[in-house]
Chain A
Amino acid sequence: MLRVIVQVIQRDLLLAVRQKADVLNTLFFFVVVVTMVPLGIGPEPNQLRAIAPGVVWVAALLAAILSLARLFANDYVDGTLEQMLLSSEPLPLIVLGKAAAHWLVTGLPLTIMSIVFGVVFDLGVTETGVMVASLLLGTPVLSLIGAVGAALTLGLRGGGVLTSLLVLPLYIPVLIFGSGAVGAAASGVSYAAYLLLLGAFLLFAAVLTPWAVSLALRISVE
């Protein structure tokens, strides 16, 4: 059972390594959006410090949406998705593997990158730590929920826009609690509740979304 998850993750990581442009695109987008904001609103340090968590979180969210299109599309076109649907292993496990691999090549690099932004925006050590923790808990949720949207719109023309419409409302709570955690840390209030809620979202999404994605994939491939 676990073997198939590991194999799917390995496969997708290997493919990501061989198509570096896809992965770098997402990271590049994230970096560009976050670095453009100070140029747009001016270099006032206090103002920037206040908006930094929100900016990083919004950029991470948009970068995640940008990367959703290729989550299942390539597998759908070349027929490997069809073979996954006919596997004797449970499809939700395969889906979980794909979502995990997606997070490893998008969410994780963004989270690591955010440490640099913590320094650039002159956030304190605690704030940066909380931001990284919130991204660590939040970005896997983005991958999991995004997978549902990607699976539902698979094979549709203009699926990208539709995916965003489907997925964005579900991303909003993650965004609010994610940037809220950093805000709380900055104003000296306890941020634990925010992180615990993000953790709850993650568990909830990890348990339920693979089933939803599996159903959506079976419908999309018909």
Chain B
Amino acid sequence: MLEVVDLTCERGERSLFSGLNFAAPSGTLLRIAGPNGTGKTSLLRILCGLLEPVAGEVRWHGRNVRKLREDYWKDLVYVGHLNGVKDDLTVRENLRVNAEVAGRPASAGRLADALERVGLAGFEDRMARFLSQGQRRRISLARLYVSETAPLWILDEPFTALDVRGVAGLSTLIGEHVKKGNTVALVTHQEVPIDAPRRQRVEFAGGGSGAVSATEEDAAC
């Protein structure tokens, strides 16, 4: 259960949103939408605990994430704007090091499997600097396959730079993850259909009004 209580966010003395409230029970796909510059990424960073809100708090299973810290991050996988890929490491090394540093060591077989499923088979020993944007994005997304047991995924524009098959594969993965009773929060400008049992939407209004609406979507669509 991911809860947001009276959240207020300011960036550079400009108020992005205030008094934001919503609750996403386990097994929810939370989609955050709205025009550029309205605070979507800031909201995700607050949800992760990277950014401190001006007021309000984010709760994970009823407890403030800024107090939970490592106990919360153990449950969380964040794929941000930045891929977190080192140019001077190979694809395999990147994924392995990332898993180790995140505190989720994975076996060599599991890493190979993740790279295969994300479509990087055959590139394992290639330096990341020689890969395309889309392929670097895939290294970042392979982390999701390595940490399928993490109950919360927070994804910032995961579909950018991916090709059609990549988008389809990722949306299936997200749908399956939600079906297993996990929570996925994502920001995306593309209306990619994702089949999930329970969906919720946080809509940021444009025009600097800071208005936000949180609605539940019909599960059938």
Question: A residues near B, CB below 8 A?
Answer: 3-4, 7-8, 11, 14-15, 18-19, 77-80, 82-90, 94, 218, 221-222
Contact = CB atoms under 8 A, between A and B. Distances in A.
A90 B101 contact: no
A82 B84 contact: yes
A18 B90 CA distance: 11
Q: Which secondary structure characterizes the binding site on chain B? A: loop
Contact of A80 (B73, B98, B105): B98
A85 B73 CA distance: 9
Interface string B73-104: 11010101111111111000100011011111
A58 B89 CA distance: 34
B52 interface: yes
A95 to B, nearest CB: 12
Interface string B101-136: 111110000000000000000000000000000000
B100 A4 contact: yes
A84 B84 CA distance: 10
A98 to B, nearest CB: 10
B83 A85 contact: no
Given A86-B48, A87-B73, A7 B100 contact: yes
Nearest to B78: A86
A104 B89 CA distance: 19
Contacts of B86: 11, 15, 78, 80
A87 B101 contact: yes
A130 to B, nearest CB: 38
A79 B89 contact: no
Contacts of A8: 101
B93 A94 contact: no
B50 A82 contact: yes
Given A11-B97, A222-B52, A83 B102 contact: yes
The size bracket of the interface on B is 20 to 34
B99 to A, nearest CB: 9
Interface of B: 48-52, 70-71, 73-74, 76, 78, 80-89, 93, 97-98, 100-105
A6 to B, nearest CB: 9
B9 to A, nearest CB: 11
B89 A86 contact: no
Instruction: Pick from A19, A83, A87 the residue with the most CB of B within 10 Å.
Output: A83
Contact of A78 (B51, B74, B87): B87
A4 B82 contact: no
A150 B84 CA distance: 20
Given A8-B101, A86-B50, 9 more contacts: A4-B103, A11-B97, A14-B88, A14-B89, A79-B80, A80-B85, A87-B70, A87-B101, A87-B103
Contacts of B71: 88
A84 B49 CA distance: 13
A86 B88 CA distance: 22
Given A7-B97, A221-B50, A89 B85 contact: no
Contact of B80 (A14, A82, A87, A94): A82
A88 B97 contact: no
